[in-house]
Amino acid sequence: MVKGTRYDMKTLNEMLGMTYHISPLRMKMLRIGLPDPKQWQTLAVQRGCDHYPAVTDRVEEPGTRVLSNEELALSLLLGELPYDPQAIRVSAQLLSGDVNIIKILRIAELERLKPLLHRLAKDILSFGIEHKNWNEILNATFEKDFPEGVLPHPTRYVVDQGNYVPENQRYLILTPKRMSVLEL
């Protein structure tokens, strides 16, 4: 391990105490010319997760027929990637948009992401917000204990409207502002 390089960074799986997994989704990202996980975040920002800044130069859009929003969102959660809390938050925002939950759950099974999705759903729904995507994910996944302080705080997935709105409207889940309409 060389200090000061990306090779000395811990992966998300190491931070969560999980084992290494060779990901078919990661192989797809490499195959379509997106080798850098930072590019994936930038692509999600380009697809509407602009609550967060882009972390690379603009990425050439492959189109949703080549890379669906479901695949993009879950690729940001892959345990073999360097630990990056912002990638987790960007993924959650993309998953809060117009996505196919059946596809999410199928990919999550292959990628061993169901416990992580369960935790995200639990954190997001802890604000008393009803959200179809996260309710379905919570009900279709299983819980696993994760170390404290590794995953983003639940407040990082919502916008707090403040004390001047009714309590049941205080928190809004971050959702993509616009979704990619490219069907290339």
**Number of residues that make up the chain:** 184
The pLDDT of residue 179: 54
Global pTM value = 0.87
Residue ranges per structural domain of the chain:
6-173
- pLDDT (average), residues 70-80: 96
- Does pLDDT of 29 surpass 60? yes
| Both structure tokens of 66 | 């080549």
The pLDDT of residue 8: 64
The number of helix segments (H) and strand segments (E) in the chain equals: 8, 2
Between CA 148 and CA 177 the distance in angstroms is 31
- Does pLDDT of 177 surpass 50? yes
Looking at residue 148, the DSSP 8-state letter turns out to be T
- Cβ contact 173:121 at 8 Å: no
The pLDDT of residue 5: 47
Between CA 114 and CA 133 the distance in angstroms is 14
DSSP reduced 3-state for 172:
strand
- Cβ contact 114:142 at 8 Å: yes
Strand segments (E) across 44-166 = 158-160
| Both structure tokens of 41 | 């975040």
